[in-house]
Amino acid sequence: MKPEFYKENRDNFAARLKPGALALFFSGEIQRKSSDDDYPWYASRNFVYLTGIEQHDSVLMVYKYPEQPENGNAYAETLYILPKDFMAERWTGVRLSPEYASERSGIKDLANTDCFMQDLTALITKEHINTIYLDIDHKIGRRTPVMADHMNEMLNAGWPGIEIANSLPILMDMRLIKRPCEIEAMEIAEDVTKDGILAMMKNCRPGMYEYQLKSWFDWALAQRGVLAPGFDSIISAGKNNFTIHYYDYHGIVNDGDIVLNDVGARWDNYVTDVSRGWPANGRFNDHQKRIFEAQRRTSDYMFSILKPGIPMSDVDRIAHEYCFEQMVDLGICRRDEDVAKYMWHGGAHHVGMDVHDRVDAAGKLTAPGMVFCVDIGIYHEEWGEGFRLEDNCLITENGCRNLSAAIPRTIEDIEDIFK
């Protein structure tokens, strides 16, 4: 992404702030794992969306001036980054220079993180700040306190009169519609993902372990300069396919098993999410064909009807209803209530900077620039067959486009890989 992309994002964000309000974004801090070992660090997606910077303990401060020109959007912005430190850099690598950080983000005002608290206190006092936006993001059952939470506590204790607002809803709305440069990054990620899936297909043999398939996926990504997948890869075979989010990789791929993968690459911070399933021996049996065809026809139907103006809440419903009809025709289902027996998860979720992108699509209609997964999964435990077909759908001006269409997705194309 060019610096202009991040500058436009900050402009759009600042336009939604109250005049006189301050917003703080934190890149994230390193978490200790055990002894002197740390977990791999991962930057806050909203911080990256606004700055392009991926360095721990960095801060973005945005202050919207209380006096605004007519139809204006005047604000100040400061990016705080770690100061140079010879010994720290000897052990863990060179820190970003102010010149690079400014060029990458488009932010001209940079300072050391050592100055952040002093500057924050001075600004609150001098400008009588009464509203501060923090990027507070938690999911039910997954509450991990981060710097925004610690700052919230500190502000409540030190300046109890300041209103704390959450910037997350603003960013979720902004990230819903992808711009051309974002779509271009996702298209490259799709091509890298294709390389990884083809590597697994071409090297799949009965008797190998799931982790060996995973190694082929990781190897193919590395050949393109992608050193880690966009999310933890799901690669399973046989009975392990009935664990939707499976990460063990120690199962053996037996002759006759369906190999299921739910994988994606990341390119310039944008992720793909693609699922493909194939028989380990290269030939679909009758049960596998029936399930696969129900999935494929449903997926093809969805791509034939998706266009601007459809309630997002209807996408999942339509997919389930159409897939039920396919399963009835193939003798898998008889009654409406059978759907829940075989379809265990939703048929669509948004994708972008996160694999389950943090966007606000509730109550909204599909619109050009939305990218979401068409995810059709059927799990038939009696037959011992469970797999899914998942593609990435871009809503266009007049319809939609399957961004992952080039990855083999028919019985004929998949079986041809094994010839």
How far is the C-alpha of 374 from the C-alpha of 347, rounded, in Å?
A: 6
How far is the C-alpha of 183 from the C-alpha of 394, rounded, in Å?
A: 8
Fold for 180-417, please state it.
Answer: Creatine Amidinohydrolase (3.90.230)
pLDDT at 339: 85
**Between helices 210-223 and 180-202, what is the axis angle to 10°?**
130
Q: Cα-atom radius of gyration of the chain, to the nearest Å?
A: 24
Measured CA angle at 398 (ends 394, 400), to 5 deg = 25
How far is the C-alpha of 186 from the C-alpha of 267, rounded, in Å?
A: 7
Whose tokens are 């700052």? That residue is: 151
The percent of residues above 70 in pLDDT, for the chain, comes to 100
Residue with the bigger pLDDT between 376 and 340: it is 376
**For residue range 101-113, what is the model confidence (pLDDT) as tens digits?**
999 999 999 999 9
Say if residues 76 and 66 touch (Cβ distance below 8 Å): no
> Two tokens at 270?
């944008």
Q: Which residues of 24-36 are buried (b: 16+ CB within 10 A; e: fewer)?
A: bbbbbeeeeeeee
Q: In this structure, how many other beta carbons lie within 10 angstroms of the beta carbon of residue 416? A: 11
How far is the C-alpha of 182 from the C-alpha of 300, rounded, in Å?
A: 25
**Between helices 3-15 and 98-105, what is the axis angle to 10°?**
70
**For residue range 360-408, what is the model confidence (pLDDT) as tens digits?**
999 999 999 999 999 999 999 999 999 999 999 999 999 999 999 999 9
Q: Where are the domains of the chain?
A: 3-174, 180-417
pLDDT at 241: 97
Q: CA 33 from chain center: how many Å?
A: 24
pLDDT at 282: 96
- How many residues does the structure list for the chain? 419
Fold for 3-174, please state it.
Answer: Creatine Amidinohydrolase; Chain A, domain 1 (3.40.350)
**For residue range 251-301, what is the model confidence (pLDDT) as tens digits?**
999 999 999 999 999 999 999 999 999 999 999 999 999 999 999 999 999
pLDDT at 419: 87
Phi, psi of 400 (to 5 degrees): -155, 170
How far is the C-alpha of 120 from the C-alpha of 383, rounded, in Å?
A: 62
How far is the C-alpha of 356 from the C-alpha of 334, rounded, in Å?
A: 33
Q: What is the pTM of this model?
A: 0.95
> Two tokens at 111?
């300072």
Q: What is the 3-state secondary structure (H, E, C) of the chain?
A: CCHHHHHHHHHHHHHCCCCCCEEEEECCCCCEEECCEECCCCCCHHHHHHHCCCCCCCEEEEEECCCCCCCCCCEEEEEEECCCCHHHHHHHCCCCCHHHHHHHHCCCCEEEHHHHHHHHHHHHHHHCCCEEEECCCCECCECCCCHHHHHHHHHHHHCCCCEEEECHHHHHHHCCCCCHHHHHHHHHHHHHHHHHHHHHHHCCCCCCEHHHHHHHHHHHHHHCCCCCCCCCCEEEEHHHHHCCCCCCCCCECCCCCEEEEEECCEECCEECCEEEEEECCCCCCHHHHHHHHHHHHHHHHHHHHCCCCCEHHHHHHHHHHHHHHHHHHCCCCCCHHHHHHHCCCCCEEECCCCCCCCCCCCCCECCCCCEEEEEEEEEECCCCEEEEEEEEEEECCCCEEECCCCCCCCHHHHHHHCC
**For residue range 127-180, what is the model confidence (pLDDT) as tens digits?**
999 999 999 998 877 778 899 999 999 999 999 999 999 999 999 999 999 999
Please report which confidence band the pLDDT of residue 335 belongs to, taking 50, 70 and 90 as the band edges: confident
Say which range, 30-44, 123-137, 306-320, 332-346, has the weakest mean pLDDT: 332-346
**For residue range 58-86, what is the model confidence (pLDDT) as tens digits?**
999 999 999 998 888 999 999 999 999 99
Residue with the bigger pLDDT between 332 and 163: it is 163
Say if residues 67 and 73 touch (Cβ distance below 8 Å): no
**For residue range 229-253, what is the model confidence (pLDDT) as tens digits?**
999 999 999 999 999 999 999 999 9
> Two tokens at 35?
């002894």
